[in-house]
Amino acid sequence: MTRVVSVPVERYPGWLERFTANNPDGPQRILSVAEPLPTPLVILLIRRGGYAVAVLGGSGRLGHKVGKRHVQSRTAAGGWSQQRFARRRENQADALVTAVTDHLDRLLRESGVRPAALVTGGDRRLVAAVLADPRLSALAELPGREYPAIGDPRRDELDEIERRATAYEIGIDDG
C-alpha cells in the first residue's frame, strides 16, 4: 500500500534521519520524493460553486481571494426543461470561470511577481477554462502540482494546499 506524506522543509532533514533509523530493512520504504515548489507560486482551486486563488511569494501569501458562485446541479427533468437547465448550468459555469480569471489576473498584477510554479485543484475542465484565458495562458506552462480531489475551495482548503505545495511530498510503501 502506498501513501503520500507532506513534510515541511524545516523538518525534512530530521524526518528523513528518523525514518531511515526506524526502517533500516523495511517494512516501509521511500518510493519518491517531490521537492517543494519554487516561489513565487500561484494556487488555483475551482469547483462548481466555489473557488480559491492565491499568489505566494518567498515571504508568504501576497494575496488571495476565496468566493462562491452558484452553479445549478443536474436535474431529472426531461425535454425542453432539461435543455434549458443545461444551458443555465453552462452559463453559470462560464460566469464562475470569468470571475476566477479576473480575480487571479488582478492578484498577479497587484503582486508584481512572475510566478515560478502553479498548483491547481478541483474540476479539471474549469481549471483548463481559466488557464485558456490569454491573460493567464503562460501559467499553464509552469511546473507544478495538481490536487484534483479537494474539498470545497474555502480558506481552510487553500491553507492546506499551500502547506502541501511548499513541503516535500514523500511517497511511502508500507510493505
Q: What is the pLDDT of residue 59?
A: 81
Q: What is the pLDDT of residue 152?
A: 84
Query: Which residue ranges form the domains of the chain, and what is each CATH number?
Result: 39-167 (3.30.420.60)
**Contact between residue 174 and residue 1 where contact means Cβ atoms under 8 Å apart:** yes
C-alpha to C-alpha distance for 126 and 142, rounded to whole angstroms:
18
Q: What is the pLDDT of residue 171?
A: 93
Q: What is the pLDDT of residue 2?
A: 86
Report the candidate in 147, 143, 142 with the shortest Cα–Cα distance to residue 52: 147
Query: Which parts of the chain register pLDDT below 70?
Result: 69-91
103-124 burial: b if 16+ Cβ within 10 Å, else e: bbeebbeebebebebbbbbbbe
